[in-house]
Chains A and B, each alone.
Chain A
Amino acid sequence: MKPSNLAIMLAALMLPPSGVVAADEEQNLKNSKPAVSHGHRGAKTFHIDNLDGATITYIKPDLSSQSITPVMGKITMPVSGVDNYHALVVEKDWGDHKEVIIRYQYMFGRPSKQNPVRLTAAEKSQFEIVPHPLPREHYRYHSQQAWQFLARYQGEFVANQPLTLSTSNGSEQTLNTDQHGRVTFLIPDDFPGLIEGERNKQSAQFTISGEYQEGDTTYSTQLVADYRVNPSHWQSTEWGVLVLGIGFLAGGYLGKNLKKRDKKA
């Protein structure tokens, strides 16, 4: 298999719906009863094909790491016992072509007391795309949001580097990094079957990829993350302002009446 094909295959198959998190959330959606457990605390599993010869590293928030051996094409990020972002790094070395896929995954557990900046700042591969910042703890990427990413080669930011964002829903956009190696992508609002006013818990995956040439070696990197439907589809600011206005009028009326009532008293 050619290296480029493998990269595409790896990225495409790391889709969240096959993961434990997605399965749990899907189940919660089906059940009308609330789930007792959050379903977030367990290990996260991802299906990946063509892992022969790949090096898989699991990096914890304190930057300690362990190698992971895939089982039947599945990679499991084990429970580390601590919370915050963990990184999964899948690397494959074809000699003159080095490929890497990086995924930052929030894990629940006791407080790790580690700043996610440590994890993003750490060099996980020679050429990598780094979220700047990651969604804050307990938050996620959502469609319609603009997020910044950095392209980094051996710790140095790479200017004017083309990066492509593609989503599992079929969208694609390519932008170049600025002189500081930064690029800002607007995550597309491309979920099918959305009904305005109705909550939708669909998640999809975006991949930001880029290729960097240094001498005879080509470095391919992919940052993989999940994103969800923007809540603005079922949250109306206009109605919020209206209700605030009603509250304001009610407050004015109440204030006036309080004065009258207290004067009488």
Chain B
Amino acid sequence: MSILNLSVIRKLVQISAFVFFVYGGLITGYYLEEKISGALPALSCAYDFQGSDLCTLIPIQHQMDHRLGETIAKGGNLLMGVMPTLITLGTFLVLFVLLNKAFCGWLCPLGTFQELLQMIGQKIGLQRQDSLSKSLVGKIRPVKWFILVVLVFGFPLLTGMGMLNHDLGDPFCKICPSRILTTLATGSTEQLHVDTANATTITLTLFADFLFGLMIALGLTLRQPFCRICPMLALHAVFRKMGLLRLIKNASPRCDRCGLCAKACPMDIHEIHTDMTSRNVTFEDCTLCGRCVEFCPDKDVLQLKYAFIPVFRADPQYFKKRKKAQTNWEKQNLITWFGNKGNKSRAESS
């Protein structure tokens, strides 16, 4: 049986993207001017000097602080103050339109890391939290919007206006797990620290380190813990209707509402299963990973479409194979391995 399925292809793409975004600067160049776009719709961190690109959230924070905030404070030309942010968002959009939210599900280094954590958790036999309840998911969802509005736009803007401490000029970057992850991946421990310069830096660094540890532990048993509160996901959600790649649902009678799609979703988007009216079901939390399509047993009910071209469709035959492969994959872990080994040795001794 072929082991190649959408999830395997995605993992290969994710690992390649991780290597490229974390170490690709060795090829593209060291200076910021040599980075690919400077506004990548994924958490490729600017603090990683070996990275090939940087996430769009860092220029946005800097522009809020040093351009728009200062312009407002000095009573300058607002259009000039906001222009750099518009250029950054324009660059972001050019890329985003091409792949939409697949930047999260296929290319983000932090997303990949969390999926690897989950695989490690599964392989060492930790009991996985299959899906979070609807009510808990509902409570978590607004957090990403709060972080986007307050930490990415709000605090940097107020800092630029002189109303906040300068250390709050890029608060999201200060707490972002990608900053610690990508720098550690290049062998630098510089970003894993507690900064005792002042109360603000102490608070931010304590929170950042704690959040990173929390994410690692949760990631072993829970799917994509940080992605659920990531402000990049929120920024994607704003523009998701513009992306060429979409998740499409044909809510025809063929859909027997089994709920397997929602169960397969790493972001626990229950609406994929319950929404029978929308055609474009690229919901705000969707990362276009395609797992829901893989695990949909009803022909063509769920599809990944690029513009008008279906690139991957639900298929009962594929579903059967995929489910079998998943069951086999989940069976293999250290506990079952040790169990089998124990059984074997007992059988041999008896």
Contacts and interface: CB of A to CB of B under 8 A. Distances in A.
Interface in B176-207: 189-190, 192-198, 201, 205-206
A203 interface: no
A108 to B, nearest CB: 8
B136 A241 contact: no
A198 B198 CA distance: 8
Contacts of A138: 32
Contacts of A115: 29, 31, 33-34
B132 A247 contact: no
Contacts of A249: 213, 217
Contact of A262 (B32, B74, B133, B196): B133
Interface in A59-113: 84, 113
What class of interface size applies to chain A in its complex with B? 35 or more
A261 B137 CA distance: 13
A234 B213 contact: no
Nearest to A245: B213
Contacts of A240: 189, 192-194, 205, 209
A247 B198 contact: no
B287 to A, nearest CB: 21
Interface stretch (B106-114, B218-226, B229-237, B316-324): B218-226
Given A234-B195, A235-B194, A259-B127, A248 B216 contact: yes
A232 to B, nearest CB: 8
B149 interface: no
Interface stretch (B158-166, B238-246, B250-258): B158-166
B33 A114 contact: yes
A137 B33 contact: yes
Nearest to A254: B218
A136 B32 contact: yes
Contacts of B34: 115, 117
B103 to A, nearest CB: 23
Given A244-B192, A250-B210, A254-B214, A36 B33 contact: no
B350 interface: no
Nearest to A235: B193
Contacts of A34: 159, 162-166
B129 interface: yes
Given A36-B73, A137-B31, A255-B222, A239 B129 contact: no
B217 A255 contact: yes
Interface string A147-180: 0000000000000000000000000000000000
Nearest to B194: A239
A38 B66 contact: yes
Instruction: Give the residue among A117, A235, A241, A254 with the most B Cβ atoms within 10 A.
Output: A235
A198 B195 CA distance: 9
A9 interface: no
A240 B34 CA distance: 31
Contacts of B189: 237, 240
Nearest to B158: A34
B197 A199 contact: yes
B278 to A, nearest CB: 26
A248 B117 CA distance: 13
A37 B32 CA distance: 23
30 contacts: A33-B162, A34-B163, A34-B165, A36-B70, A36-B162, A114-B33, A115-B29, A115-B33, A133-B31, A137-B33, A234-B197, A236-B193, A236-B196, A237-B189, A237-B192, A239-B194, A243-B194, A243-B205, A244-B213, A247-B211, A247-B213, A247-B217, A248-B217, A251-B213, A251-B217, A255-B217, A258-B129, A262-B132, A265-B133, A265-B135
Interface of A: 33-38, 84, 113-117, 133-134, 136-138, 197-199, 231-232, 234-237, 239-241, 243-252, 254-255, 258-259, 261-262, 265
Interface of B: 29-34, 49, 66, 70, 73-74, 127, 129, 132-133, 135-136, 159-166, 189-190, 192-198, 201, 205-206, 209-218, 220-222, 225
For the complex of A and B, 10 pairs with smallest distance between CB atoms: A247-B213, A251-B217, A199-B197, A36-B162, A247-B210, A239-B194, A243-B209, A248-B213, A235-B193, A244-B213
